[in-house]
Amino acid sequence: MKRMTAMNVAAILFYKGDDCMIKDYKTGCLEWRKSIIQYVACIIFFCTALFLQGIDSFAATALSANGALKVEGTKLVSQKTGKQVQLRGVSTHGINWDVGYPYISKDAFKTLRDKYSVNAIRLAMYTTEYYGYCDKGGAGESQSTVQSTLKTRIDTGVQAATDLGMYVIIDWHILNDQTPKKYQSQAKDFFTEMSLKYADYDNVIYEICNEPNGGTTWSDIKSYANTIIPVIRANDSDAVIIVGTPTWSQDVDVASKSPLKYDNVMYTLHFYSATHTDYYREKLKMALNNGLPIMVTEFGVSEASGNGSMNTSEAKKWLDLLDSNKISYFAWSLSSKDETASLLKAGTTKTSGWTTSQLSPAGKWILTQYNKRSDKNTTSYKPAQVNKVAIKNVKGKKAKITIKKVSKATGYQIIYSTNRKFKKASSVKTTKNSYTIKNLKKKTYYIKVRAYRKVNEKTYYGVYSKVVKINIKK
Q: Are residues 209 and 316 in the same domain?
A: yes
Q: Are residues 149 and 280 in the same domain?
A: yes
With 80 as the cut, is the pLDDT of residue 23 above it?
Answer: no
Q: What is the rounded CA–CA span in Å between residue 294 and residue 74?
A: 7
Sequence-distant (6+) residues with CB within 8 A of 131 are 96, 97, 137, 139, 146, 149, 150
With 60 as the cut, is the pLDDT of residue 2 above it?
Answer: no
What pLDDT shows up at residue 456?
Answer: 54
Q: Are residues 261 and 151 in the same domain?
A: yes
What pLDDT shows up at residue 395?
Answer: 84
What pLDDT shows up at residue 363?
Answer: 98
Burial of 421 (0-12, 13-18, 19+ CB in 10 A): exposed
Q: Other CB atoms closer than 10 Å to residue 55's CB: what's the count?
A: 8
**Band of residue 167 on the pLDDT scale cut at 50, 70, 90:** very high
Burial of 140 (0-12, 13-18, 19+ CB in 10 A): exposed
Sequence-distant (6+) residues with CB within 8 A of 11 are 22, 23, 24, 25
What pLDDT shows up at residue 393?
Answer: 85
* Domain end marker among 33, 53, 73: 53
Instruction: Return mean pLDDT, the chain.
Output: 89
Number of domains in the chain: 3
Q: Are residues 15 and 128 in the same domain?
A: no
The model's pLDDT over 394-440, given as tens digits with 9 standing for 90+, comes to: 888 899 999 999 988 999 999 999 999 999 999 999 999 999 999 99
Residue 259 sits in which domain range? 62-376
The structure's pTM equals: 0.74
Q: Are residues 361 and 422 in the same domain?
A: no
With 60 as the cut, is the pLDDT of residue 38 above it?
Answer: no
The model's pLDDT over 302-351, given as tens digits with 9 standing for 90+, comes to: 999 999 999 999 999 999 999 999 999 999 999 999 999 999 999 999 99
Q: Are residues 36 and 138 in the same domain?
A: no
Q: Return the higher-pLDDT residue of 369 and 375.
A: 369
CATH number at residue 326: 3.20.20.80
What pLDDT shows up at residue 377?
Answer: 60
Q: Are residues 67 and 44 in the same domain?
A: no
Q: Is residue 370 part of a domain?
A: yes
* Domain end marker among 376, 405, 434: 376
Q: Are residues 316 and 432 in the same domain?
A: no
Catalytic residue among 31, 72, 141, 211: 211
For residues 94-109, give the mean pLDDT. Answer: 98
Catalytic residue among 72, 129, 282, 298: 298
Q: Are residues 213 and 330 in the same domain?
A: yes
**Band of residue 473 on the pLDDT scale cut at 50, 70, 90:** confident
What pLDDT shows up at residue 59?
Answer: 52
Is-contact 257 290, C-beta < 8 A? yes
With 60 as the cut, is the pLDDT of residue 47 above it?
Answer: no
With 60 as the cut, is the pLDDT of residue 124 above it?
Answer: yes
SS3 helix, strand, coil % of the chain, rounded to 5? Answer: 35, 25, 45
With 60 as the cut, is the pLDDT of residue 54 above it?
Answer: no
Q: What is the rounded CA–CA span in Å between residue 377 and residue 424?
A: 32
Q: Are residues 195 and 287 in the same domain?
A: yes
Q: Is residue 292 part of a domain?
A: yes
What pLDDT shows up at residue 202?
Answer: 98
Least confident of 98-102, 298-302, 377-381, 446-450: 377-381
Sequence-distant (6+) residues with CB within 8 A of 152 are none
What pLDDT shows up at residue 457?
Answer: 60
Q: Are residues 75 and 164 in the same domain?
A: yes
With 80 as the cut, is the pLDDT of residue 195 above it?
Answer: yes
Q: What is the rounded CA–CA span in Å between residue 86 and residue 104?
A: 23
Active site residue 282: no
Q: Is residue 1 part of a domain?
A: no
Q: Is residue 39 part of a domain?
A: yes
Cis peptide, bond prior to residue 333, ω within 30 of zero: yes
The model's pLDDT over 242-282, given as tens digits with 9 standing for 90+, comes to: 999 999 999 999 999 999 999 999 999 999 999 999 999 99
What pLDDT shows up at residue 165?
Answer: 97
Q: Return the higher-pLDDT residue of 217 and 15.
A: 217
* Alpha helices, DSSP H, located in 404-449: none
For residues 23-44, give the mean pLDDT. Answer: 44
Is-contact 57 65, C-beta < 8 A? no
**Band of residue 42 on the pLDDT scale cut at 50, 70, 90:** very low
What pLDDT shows up at residue 376?
Answer: 64
With 60 as the cut, is the pLDDT of residue 20 above it?
Answer: no
Sequence-distant (6+) residues with CB within 8 A of 287 are 252, 253, 255, 256, 267, 269, 294
* Domain end marker among 317, 348, 376: 376
Q: Other CB atoms closer than 10 Å to residue 458's CB: what's the count?
A: 10
DSSP three-state, residue 184: helix
Q: Is residue 185 part of a domain?
A: yes
Query: Alpha-carbon Rg of the chain, whole angstroms?
Result: 27
Nearest CA-CA partner of 468 in 375, 392, 394, 411: 392
Cα angle 367, 373, 377; round to 5: 105
CATH number at residue 454: 2.60.40.10
Residue 160 CA, chain-centre distance (Å), reads 17
Q: What is the rounded CA–CA span in Å between residue 310 and residue 50?
A: 46
Residue 373 has what DSSP assignment? H
For residues 160-180, give the mean pLDDT. Answer: 98
Q: Are residues 311 and 394 in the same domain?
A: no
For residues 374-384, give the mean pLDDT. Answer: 70
With 80 as the cut, is the pLDDT of residue 173 above it?
Answer: yes
Active site residue 298: yes
